[in-house]
Structure 1
Amino acid sequence: MEAGAVSGILDTTLALVFTWVGYKTSMIIYKYTPYSYPNARIKAMEAKLLTEQRFNELAESRTLQNFVVSLEDTPYRDYLADLQSYDVESIERALEKALAGTYELMAKILPKRVNPFFRLLLEEWDVRNITSVVKAKLADEPAMDYVVEIGPMLQKVKAMAEAKSMEEILVILEGTPYEEPYQKLLLGEIDVRAFETELYKMHYGKLLDYALSKKDEERTILEEFVRLRIDKLNILTALRGKAAKLSAEEIRPMLIPGGSVKLDPLLHVEDLSMALAELDSTKYGPVIRDVREEVEKDLGVLERVLEEHIIERMNELNRFYPLSVATPLGYVLQKEREVRKLRAIAKLISDGLPPERIKELAGDVA
């Protein structure tokens, strides 16, 4: 072969190699660089999460005013600063706003290709608010007392709370995804429990559709996150149904599509103990095996264990994909747990329980 031909082949080969290396480098930059700043910021925020020692100190507050004062050196300070009174309801609302602020921050600092997911997560407050207002109206109670001032549809929710009739609420919901299920409720085609379930099905359906629209590890992480959350809700619904002696036909419509585990075998057994035995044969068996006896007495234990399992799974994905959406998801889960503990402590202080008992009960909150 002539020297010129050999040189041409080498040049072509080198050009292909450099093109491939350039493509791979650009893909790495596209996939990982946008997470560098937000994930570093989130790691710094994780260092400010409250420790068990701090929770124990808060349990010693004895009054809600002392509880609020003790949080002045934390990120909750700004949310608690405008409290008009030191009652547990006001404190819980402020803590909920702080949690929503975390989702809003994630939507602001994360790459554009994933930040809409965190805006979708905020819509869960719309679902809660709408169902709370409708339930209050049906019970002839002051609906505004049940509104948490969070969510993309907050103004419509407030208008619903002030509506003079149930029909007026339909006009307010016109053009929203919630119009159709509310119309069914008005017509008597579904009851309020089914109405609430429909709204949650829509919410988790949107989350799952968004997750499935992503690619590579972003799809892997977001999809697992959503399916794990759906599993948790469905498992708790199924077991609570069994504890209440409901039939499979009564429980099935309350389940949310999209979970990763088939629960139908649980629905056809006679009681809670047998349902837990069926659950033991699923992938959640190892998760609940050590606490099964406790779960039979208190399903709240199962809720805590499932929450911990989701956090652990996100931490595993975070270790496998260190520059990814797993980091912010893991952080918001920890923040949710922190807010639940703070709300529990505030409620227990309000109820007048002694500090040692508060520490014991708050320690069981996940």
Structure 2
Amino acid sequence: MEAGAVSGILNTTLAVVFAWVGYKTARIVWKYTPYSYPNARIKAMEAKLLSEQRFNELAESRTLQNFIVGLEDTDYKDYLTDVSVYTVEEIERALEKALAGTYELMIKILPKRVNPFFRFMLEEWDVRNIASVVKAKFAGEVAGDYVMEIGPMLPKVKAMAEAKTMEEILVILEGTPYEEPYQRLLLGEISLQEFETELYRMHYGKLLSYALSRKDDERVILEEFVRLKIDKANILTVLRAKSAGMTAEEIRPLIIPGGSIKLDPLLHVDDLGMALAELDSTKYGKVIRDVREEVERDLSVLERALERHIIERMNELNRFYPLSVAAPLSYILQKEREVRKLRAIAKLIEDGVHPERIKELAGDVA
């Protein structure tokens, strides 16, 4: 073979190799570099999450004014400065605004290809608010007491709470995804429980569709996150229904599709104990076994255990994919838990509960 031909083959081979290396390098840069800054910032924010010792100190505040002072050196300071009257309601609103600020920060600093997922996550607060307002209206209660200061549709939610008639709420919801299920509720085609389920079904369907549209580790992480959330909702729904003696036919319309475990065996058992036994053979078996005795007395124990399991799973994925969407997902869940705990402590302080008892009860909230 002539030297020129050999040289040509070598040049072509080198060009192919360099092109392949360039492509792989570009893929790595595209996948991981956009997470370098946000994840470094999130790591710094995680270091500022309140410790158990700090919660215990807050539990000893004895007054709401002292409770607010105790948070002056935290990220909540800017939100609590607007509190003019030391009431639980004012403090809760400030904490909810702080949580909304966390979501907005995630949307701002995360890569554009993934931040819509966090916008969709924020919409869950709209679902909670709408469901709470409608249930309060049906029960003849003051709906405004159930509105949380978070969610893209907050102005509409507040208008719903002020509405004089159920039909007025339909006008407020016109043009939103929630108009059609609410109309069906007013027409008596679905129950109040089924209405709430439909809102969550739409929400989780939106999250899952987005997760499945992603690629590589983003899809792996987002899909598992959504399916874990759906599993949590469905497990709690079935167990509460079994505690209430509901039949499989009554429970089935309340199930959200898209979870990772088969629920049909649970629907046909006779009671809560048998349902827990069925869950023992699923991937949630260990989570349930760890709290089994307490769960039979109080299902909220399992709710907290499942929430901790989701956080732990996101932390595992974060270790496996260190520059990924797992870190912000884990942080959001931890921040939500922190806010729940702070709300609980503030309420117990207002109720005059002894500090040692507050520490015990606030620990249960986590």
Aligned partner of residue 296 in structure 2, secondary structure: helix
Q: Matches of 1:17 and 1:139 in 2, distance apart?
A: 70
Q: Matches of 2:139 and 2:365 in 1, distance apart?
A: 30
Counterpart mapping for 1:312-351 below 5 A: 312-351=312-351
Deviations 1:26-67 (A, max 9, x none): 111111111111111111111100001101101111111111
Aligned match of 1:173 = 173
Q: Matches of 1:308 and 1:58 in 2, distance apart?
A: 22
Residue 88 of structure 1: CA displacement? 1.6
Deviations 1:54-110 (A, max 9, x none): 011011111111111101110011111111322222222221221121111100100
Counterpart mapping for 1:40-119 below 5 A: 40-119=40-119
Deviations 1:308-343 (A, max 9, x none): 110110001000110110110111111111111111
Residue 140 of structure 1: CA displacement? 3.2
Q: Is it true that 1:279 corresponds to 2:289 in the alignment?
A: no
Q: Matches of 1:142 and 1:290 in 2, distance apart?
A: 39
Residue 133 of structure 1: CA displacement? 2.2
Residue 196 of structure 1: CA displacement? 1.2
State the TM-score, normalized to the length of structure 2.
Answer: 0.97
Aligned match of 1:36 = 36
Q: Is it true that 1:214 corresponds to 2:236 in the alignment?
A: no
Q: Matches of 1:217 and 1:241 in 2, distance apart?
A: 36
Deviations 1:151-206 (A, max 9, x none): 11122222222333222221221111111101101111112221111111111111
Q: Is it true that 1:229 corresponds to 2:209 in the alignment?
A: no
Q: CA distance change for structure 1 residues 164 and 300 in 2, over 3 Å: closer, same or farther?
A: closer
Deviates more, 1:132-141 or 1:194-203: 132-141
Q: CA RMSD in A?
A: 1.3
Structure 1 unmatched ranges of 5 or more: none
Deviations 1:184-230 (A, max 9, x none): 01111112221111111111111111111111100110011111011
Q: Matches of 1:267 and 1:193 in 2, distance apart?
A: 17
Aligned match of 2:23 = 23
Q: Matches of 2:75 and 2:12 in 1, distance apart?
A: 58
Aligned partner of residue 363 in structure 1, secondary structure: helix
- Letter paired with 1:200: Y
Residue 241 of structure 1: CA displacement? 1.0
- Letter paired with 1:101: G
Q: Matches of 1:136 and 1:294 in 2, distance apart?
A: 30
Counterpart mapping for 1:195-214 below 5 A: 195-214=195-214
Aligned match of 2:247 = 247
Residue 294 of structure 1: CA displacement? 1.8
Aligned match of 2:311 = 311
- Letter paired with 2:189: E
Deviates more, 1:355-364 or 1:38-47: 355-364
Deviations 1:100-146 (A, max 9, x none): 21111100100000001111111112112222222232233333333
State the TM-score, normalized to the length of structure 1.
Answer: 0.97
Aligned match of 2:299 = 299
Deviates more, 1:292-301 or 1:213-222: 292-301
- Letter paired with 1:186: L
Percent pairwise identity = 83
Q: Matches of 2:36 and 2:83 in 1, distance apart?
A: 36
**How many residue pairs get matched?**
366
Deviates more, 1:77-86 or 1:325-334: 77-86
Aligned partner of residue 365 in structure 2, secondary structure: coil
Structure 2 unmatched ranges of 5 or more: none
- Letter paired with 1:12: T
Aligned partner of residue 164 in structure 1, secondary structure: coil
Deviates more, 1:61-70 or 1:142-151: 142-151
